């Protein structure tokens, strides 16, 4: 079972064999409201941990999504181009955004565990 990590900017990361699948959390999807567009990152793009990865638009807002880990984008979820609603329906499963080939596994220590993220959310309310 792969462990899921979270960032304070409400991204989640699931790691398997050096590849990090990332997306936004249920909380973030809820905050954004009806998502109208996902500006997917380019495959091949290099990202730094907590640097800008891409952006997501809803009717009233445009939110930057930050890369929870450094590395190179190797795959993006093309389905989101036509059907951005998937992110609202299933943000932590079918609504994944990209696969990042990780540069440094040790970076995961800078993220929150599931329990820590839940506590963080409680603090926000």
Partner 1 sequence: MSNTSYCPNTPEDIQEMLAVIGVATVEDLFATIPADLRTRSFYLPPGMSEFELSRHIGELAGKNNLNITNFIGGGYYDHLIPAVVDHLAGRAEFYTAYTPYQPECSQGTLQALFEYQTAICRLTGMESANASLYDGATAMAEAAMMALRITGREKVVIDGAANPFYRQVVKTYLANLAVKVVEIPPREGIVDRPLLTSAVDDRTAVVLVQNPNFFGSLDDFRDLAELAHAKGALLAASVYPISLGLVASPGEMGADIVTGDGQSLGNPLSFGGPSFGFIATNKKYIRNLPGRIVGETVDREGRRGFVLTLQAREQHIKRHKATSNICSNQSLCALRGLIFLVSLGRKGFAEMARLNYDKAEYAKSVFAKLPGVTILNPGTTFNEFTLALPKDAGPVVEKLLSKKVAAGVPLGEWYPEMAHCLTVTVTEKRTKAEIDLLAHKMEWQVCK
Partner 2 sequence: MQMIYEKSRPGRRGATLPASDVPPAPLLPDNLLRKEAPYLPEVSELEMVRHFTNLSRRNFSVDTNFYPLGSCTMKYNPKVMENVAGLFADSHPMTALLPGGDACAQGSLELLYELGKLLAEITGMAEVCTLPLAGAHGEMTGIMMIAAYHKALGNRKKYVIVPDSSHGTNPASAAMMGYEIITVPTAPYGDMDMELFKAAMNEEVAAVMMTCPNTLGLFNPHVAEICDIAHESGALVYCDGANLNAILGRVRPGDIGFDVIHLNLHKTFATPHGGGGPGSGPVGVKRALIPFLPTPRIAVRANGTYGLQTDRDLPQSIGRISTFFGNFGVMVRAYAYITLLGRKGLIEVSEQAVLNANYILSRLKSHYDLPYDQTCMHECVFSASRQLKHGVHAIDIAKYLIDRGFHPPTVYFPLIVKEAIMIEPTETESKEALDSFILAMIEAAETAERNPEELRQAPITMPVSRLDETKAAREQNVCFAKW
User: How far is Cα 73 from Cα 47, in angstroms, rounded to an integer?
Assistant: 8
Contact window for partner 2 (CB under 8 A) among 9-17, 30-38, 71-79, 94-102 = 30-38
2-10, 53-61, 70-78, 116-124 -> range binding partner 1 (CB under 8 A) = 53-61
Q: Are 101 and 75 in contact (CB under 8 A)?
A: no
Which is nearer to partner 2, 32 or 112 (by Cβ)? Answer: 32
Residue 88 is a binding residue for partner 1 (CB under 8 A):
no
* Residue 11, beta-bridge partner list: 24
Q: Are 70 and 49 in contact (CB under 8 A)?
A: yes
Q: Which residues bind partner 1 (CB under 8 A)?
A: 36-37, 55, 57-62
């Amino acid at each position: 079972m792969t462990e899921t990590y979270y960032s304070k900017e409400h991204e989640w990361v699931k790691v398997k064999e050096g590849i990090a699948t990332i997306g936004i959390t249920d909380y973030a999807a809820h905050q954004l409201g009806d998502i109208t567009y996902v500006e997917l990152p380019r495959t091949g793009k290099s990202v730094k941990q907590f640097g800008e990865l891409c952006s997501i638009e809803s009717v009233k807002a445009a939110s930057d999504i930050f890369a929870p880990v450094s590395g190179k984008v190797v795959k993006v979820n093309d389905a989101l181009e036509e059907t951005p609603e998937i992110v609202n329906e299933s943000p932590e499963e079918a609504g994944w955004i990209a696969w990042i080939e990780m540069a440094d596994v040790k970076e995961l220590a800078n993220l929150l565990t599931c329990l820590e993220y839940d506590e963080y959310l409680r603090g926000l309310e």
